[in-house]
Structure 1
Amino acid sequence: MQTSVFDYLSQKLSVTAIPGYQIHISPHKNFQWAHLVLYASKSCSQYIKRVISEEGLKVAFIKSRTRFQACKQANIILKSQGEELELPTDINEDDQTKTSSYRT
């Protein structure tokens, strides 16, 4: 399927903006990497970045809602465990801008 110039540019801009979010916004939230820590998968921002790159913005908006709900649940589970968990050692290099452990 051919994409329009607008779709292409908005997709590229979105993918480019995610590292800025990871560096400047994500560290200031009250939780980080909950989905990554609990399920040993990509962080939510890395997941959304991949979906945008491969499937476009429209699909990413749809899939992001489900992913963010799963991340919220992961945060609740981790908080209920009440312990500090170390991040997996095989994380993606783009995610290394965040802290080295999950803190509740």
Structure 2
Amino acid sequence: MSIKFLYRKFLSAKLYYLSQKQSSANTKAKRKGILTRFLWLVAPLVSLIDKLGLRFLLDYIAIQGIQRYQKHLSPHKGFSCAYSRFYGAESCSEYFRRTVRTYGLSKAIPLFEQRLRDCKLANATLKAQRISKTTQRKLER
């Protein structure tokens, strides 16, 4: 296979993906997260690689990247996953690693996007609880 062929396939997959997303984007709120935007741009490439039969290689690279993040970046970022703190479940990165291993990267991306939305909601809930506790303390004084 030539590079031109792969590039054309990638562009056609991306255009198809964008047309599908555009119809649903009119009904959904605009996505603002950096990670969500990145996943949205990578999804056509993932589907193309999946069609070419290189799924296992892509899954391996994704799992290795997640493990590197968990080992080197996550301990130093200064905060933990809001979803895991609120629900007592596994962190978002561990969830993504497990879903990639179970379902593959192409099916794990939409599941992870939903998990990020849930994590954002859990973060807002935790923040509201923190604010209400501090206002209660101020009222008690």
Give the TM-score normalised by structure 2: 0.51
Instruction: Please say if 1:57 is aligned against 2:105.
Output: yes
- Please state how far the C-alpha of 1:25 moved relative to its aligned partner: 3.5
CA gap 1:31/1:72 in 2 versus in 1, 3 angstroms: farther
Which amino acid in structure 1 is aligned with residue 119 of structure 2?
C
Please, what is the CA RMSD of the aligned residues? 2.2
The 5 A counterparts of 1:50-89 are: 50-82=98-130
Identify the range of structure 1 (61-70 vs 19-28) with the bigger mean alpha-carbon deviation.
Answer: 19-28
CA gap 1:69/1:29 in 2 versus in 1, 3 angstroms: farther
Could you list the per-position Cα deviations for residues 11-41 of structure 1 after superposition, in whole angstroms to 9, with x for gaps in the alignment? 0111111122123433565742110111111
Aligned length in residues: 81
Matches of 2:57 and 2:119 in 1, distance apart?
28
SS at match of 1:26: helix
Matches of 2:75 and 2:121 in 1, distance apart?
19
Matches of 1:4 and 1:63 in 2, distance apart?
22
Q: Indicate the residue corresponding to 1:41 in structure 2.
A: 89
Identical pairs, percent: 35
Q: Indicate the residue corresponding to 2:8 in structure 1.
A: none
Which amino acid in structure 2 is aligned with residue 34 of structure 1?
A
- The structure with the largest helix share of the pair is 2
Matches of 1:48 and 1:72 in 2, distance apart?
15
Q: Indicate the residue corresponding to 2:57 in structure 1.
A: 9
Which amino acid in structure 1 is aligned with residue 55 of structure 2?
D
Uncovered stretches (5+) of structure 1, i.e. residues with no partner: 84-104
Give the TM-score normalised by structure 1: 0.67
